[in-house]
């Protein structure tokens, strides 16, 4: 494991976070278990995970960057490119699909004027398709920053977007 003083976290992790992960990695037989946790911490600080974040994670955990990259690109809640302040994951799996998920996805695209994979010009919203979010009883559902919303009607979509815009302007 790398020593804390030799690691430059380039503003991706604060000192406490860096120290925590180094210490925790040292206690584990397989520090690889922490890959997602470190990436999520970086994403929380930075909004997304740049190449430097992948390298930092590898250094902290004593892995090769390719090991971290494989996890980062497999897990669709880790962003390897900049996203809006509110990344909206819209579920396209069976329960949501059969309960109006396609219409919901269409509605979000119309209301925000963007397609999947795009970010609104004001930098607030990014639309992303997602496999099952694990809340099938709330279908059709979306997730924004670990929080689930559903079942969503057309009125709910308007209200949600407006609420987030208000929150962003406060
Ligand atoms: S199918 Fe959408 S949350 Fe499970």
Residue 131 Cβ contacting ligand 1 at under 6 Å: no
The pLDDT of residue 25 is 95
Residue 124 Cβ contacting ligand 1 at under 6 Å: no
* Domains with residue ranges and CATH for the chain: 4-74 (1.10.10), 86-169 (3.40.30.10)
Binning pLDDT at 50, 70 and 90, where does residue 3 land? very low
In contact, 116 and 109? CB cutoff 8 Å: yes
Interhelix angle 51-61/35-46, nearest 10 degrees: 140
Residue 110 has pLDDT above 60, yes or no: yes
Q: What pTM, to 2 d.p., does this model score?
A: 0.86
Residue 63 Cβ contacting ligand 1 at under 6 Å: no
Q: Is 136 annotated as a binding residue?
A: yes
Q: Is 132 annotated as a binding residue?
A: yes
Q: How far apart are CA 167 and CA 96, in angstroms?
A: 27
Q: How far, in Å, is the centroid of ligand 1 from the Cα of 95?
A: 5
Tens-place pLDDT, residues 44-81 = 999 999 999 999 999 999 999 999 999 999 998 999 99
């Amino acid at each position: 494991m790398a020593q804390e003083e030799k690691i430059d976290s380039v503003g991706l992790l604060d000192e406490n976070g860096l120290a925590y992960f180094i210490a925790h990695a040292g206690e584990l037989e397989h520090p690889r278990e922490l890959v997602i946790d470190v990436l999520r911490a970086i994403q929380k600080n930075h909004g997304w995970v740049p190449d430097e974040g992948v390298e930092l994670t590898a250094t902290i955990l004593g892995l090769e960057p390719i090991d971290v990259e494989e996890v980062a690109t497999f897990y669709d809640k880790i962003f390897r490119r900049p996203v809006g302040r509110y990344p909206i994951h819209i579920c396209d799996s069976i329960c949501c699909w059969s309960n109006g998920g396609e219409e919901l996805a269409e509605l979000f695209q119309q209301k925000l004027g963007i397609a999947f994979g795009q970010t609104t010009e004001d930098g607030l919203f990014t639309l992303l398709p997602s496999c099952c979010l694990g809340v099938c009883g709330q279908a059709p559902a979306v997730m924004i920053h670990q929080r689930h919303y559903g079942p969503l009607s057309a009125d709910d979509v308007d209200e949600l977007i407006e609420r987030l815009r208000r929150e962003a302007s406060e």
